[in-house]
Amino acid sequence: MPADHAARADERSLSDRDVRILKFERSWWRHAGQKESAIRKEFGLSSARYYQVLSALIDSPAALAHDPMLIKRLQRMRDERLAARSARLLPHDD
């Protein structure tokens, strides 16, 4: 199967909600007010559930095929947050 055909097949496996979430992440700063209230309004999800879904999308080959720049940015941001959290949790040898 050619690579471009595989990418289109992966992209088709995204649900409508998944595509909407990716679009929202790409432009959430345009929404008035807090991001959490925009999430509830747009998707009817709690922010905790939204971030669970987004986390799965970040690791999804279909999402990567759909919007590689966004997914790579979100992966980088997640990795930076995890590194910062790990740095805070590690004991210091002072």
CB 58 within 8 A of CB 78: yes
* Confidence at residue 94, expressed as pLDDT on a 0 to 100 scale: 55
Give the dihedral sign, CA 13/15/19/24: negative
pLDDT at 86: 84
State how far the Cα of 83 lies from the Cα of 86, in Å rounded to an integer.
5
Alpha-carbon distances of 25 from 42, 64, 91, 94, rounded to whole Å: 12, 14, 35, 41
Q: Look at residue 13 and tell me whether its pLDDT is greater than 70.
A: yes
Question: Tens digit of pLDDT for each residue in 21-66?
Answer: 999 999 877 666 688 888 999 999 999 999 999 999 999 999 999 9
The model's pLDDT over 69-88, given as tens digits with 9 standing for 90+, comes to: 999 999 999 999 888 888 87
Q: pTM of the prediction? A: 0.74
